Amino acid sequence: MAVERAVLGEVPEVVERGGWRSAALDFCRARPLGAIGAVVVAINIFVGLGANVIAPYDPLATDYGAMLGRPSAAHWLGTDAFGRDVLSRIIHGSRTAMLVGFSCAFLGATLGTIIGVTSAYFGGRADLLIQRVMDVFLAFPLIILALAVVSILGTGIGNVIMAITIPMIPRAALVARSSALAIREMPYVDAARAAGFSHGRIILRHMLPNVMAPYLIMLTAYLGQAILLEASLSFLGLGVAEPTPAWGLMLRGAAVQFAESAPWMAIFPGFAISLAVFAFNLFGDSLRDALDPRLRTQ
């Protein structure tokens, strides 16, 4: 019937239901936990972007009369050791977390994918060489490599982004390479080669678009990891420096000193980190399930 209507010039139902909105609705219905993750991620992004408007106080403004203040009507999540509003610092901290998270995840996943696909495409000695270099980086745990990089480059947001991105690249390259190895053998790649297209064109136009699914999965998975790493580095005093509002930074120093008498200084930023990482992981896992054809058919 549907085919008949289409022949008669009516818009087919399948076209009406297509597009992003429909895909999003399907995603929400099929994976409610992933949808919740996506909502929290969206809230995080919104809060980060609108921090200047949303935060009740200047996150840097000290009030020595209100030091170590309990949660109250004036300060919903209390104040820290300098009398700064904890809620405002968490809200502005989400900006730092999102900036570092998105930058690291995007750079790490993108550069890793390019390297992985290139390595798979050329194969042979080039592949061997690239993969052994990647193996060297993979031999170090993520946090250890990030610590090493930041101790060489120094602290600050730019260096922290670089420190977290570098260990992500080989991990992304490994995943992208394994996907690209299968694509390399596809007839259309052979056809492109036979047509005399350049290596760059084949990699960029014929292979990379076909590893988009793992790329998107890595992107979301790395977001959570990057936020956690940034918080870890800041907690260790190797990330961003005071008085910049950052979640990991809020957990160190006075938060540790006054953990017994002013626990809100550590509890709320810790909760913000957990929530953000949990949300990104939920979203990433659901996205993987939705995009991976093997899992989709199961």
Partner 1 sequence: MATNRARRRGSETVRGLVVGVAGLMLAVLGGTGAGAQERPRYGGELVFVVPTEPASYDGHREGTFALVHPVAPIYNTLLRFDPTDRTGTRVVGDLAESWTIARDGRTYTFRLRRGVKFHDGSDLTSKDVKASYDKIIFPPSGVISFRKGQYTAVEAVEAPDAATVVFRLKWPSASLITALASPFNWIYRADILAKDVHWYETHVMGTGPFIFVEHVKGAYWAARKNPNYWDKGKPYLDGYRALVVKDANAQVAAVRAERAHIQFRGFTPSERDSLVQALGAKIAVQESPWDCVLLVGMNHEKKPWDDKRARRALTLALDRHQGSQALSRIAIVKSVGGVQVPGTPFAAPPEELEKLAGYSHDVAKSRAEARRLLTEAGVPEGFSFSLKNRNVPMPYEPIAVWLVDQWRQVGLQARHEFIESTKWEADLRNGEYEVAVDTQCSYAVDPDLDLYKFQSMGISHNNYGRYTDTVLDELYQKQSRALDPDERKKYVREFERRLLDEEAHYAYTLQWHRIIPHSAKVRGWTITPSHFVNNQLDTVWLAE
Tell me which residues touch partner 1 (CB under 8 A): 60, 62, 64, 67-68, 81-83, 151, 154-156, 237, 241-244, 252-254, 257-258, 260-261
242 φ, ψ (degrees, to nearest 5): -55, 150
Report the nearest approach of partner 1 to the CB of residue 255 (Å).
11
Beta-bridge partners for 79? 85
Report the nearest approach of partner 1 to the CB of residue 154 (Å).
6
- Contact predicate 95/103, CB 8 Å: no
Report the nearest approach of partner 1 to the CB of residue 257 (Å).
4
**Residue 99 to residue 47: CA distance in whole angstroms:** 12
Q: Which two tokens stand for residue 54?
A: 């949303």
Nearer to partner 1, 84 or 184 (CB): 84
Tell me the three state secondary structure of residue 252: coil
Report the nearest approach of partner 1 to the CB of residue 263 (Å).
13
Nearer to partner 1, 27 or 264 (CB): 264
Q: Please, is 40 exposed, middle or buried when counting C-beta atoms within 10 Å of its C-beta (0-12, 13-18, 19+)? A: middle
Which whole-number Å values give the CA distances from 186 to 97, 105, 183, 192, 206, in the listed order? 40, 29, 5, 10, 10
Report the nearest approach of partner 1 to the CB of residue 97 (Å).
19
Report the nearest approach of partner 1 to the CB of residue 129 (Å).
34
Nearer to partner 1, 20 or 64 (CB): 64
Q: Which two tokens stand for residue 242?
A: 């005071």
**Residue 175 to residue 131: CA distance in whole angstroms:** 12
C-alpha 248 chain-centroid distance: 16
Nearer to partner 1, 175 or 240 (CB): 240
Nearer to partner 1, 86 or 175 (CB): 86
Report the nearest approach of partner 1 to the CB of residue 164 (Å).
18
- Contact predicate 250/239, CB 8 Å: no
- Contact predicate 239/248, CB 8 Å: yes
Report the nearest approach of partner 1 to the CB of residue 269 (Å).
16
Nearer to partner 1, 197 or 258 (CB): 258
Q: Which helix (DSSP H) or strand (DSSP E) does residue 102 occupy? A: helix 86-122
**Residue 146 to residue 139: CA distance in whole angstroms:** 13
Nearer to partner 1, 100 or 290 (CB): 100
**Residue 60 to residue 86: CA distance in whole angstroms:** 10
Q: Which two tokens stand for residue 246?
A: 């950052």
Nearer to partner 1, 250 or 290 (CB): 250
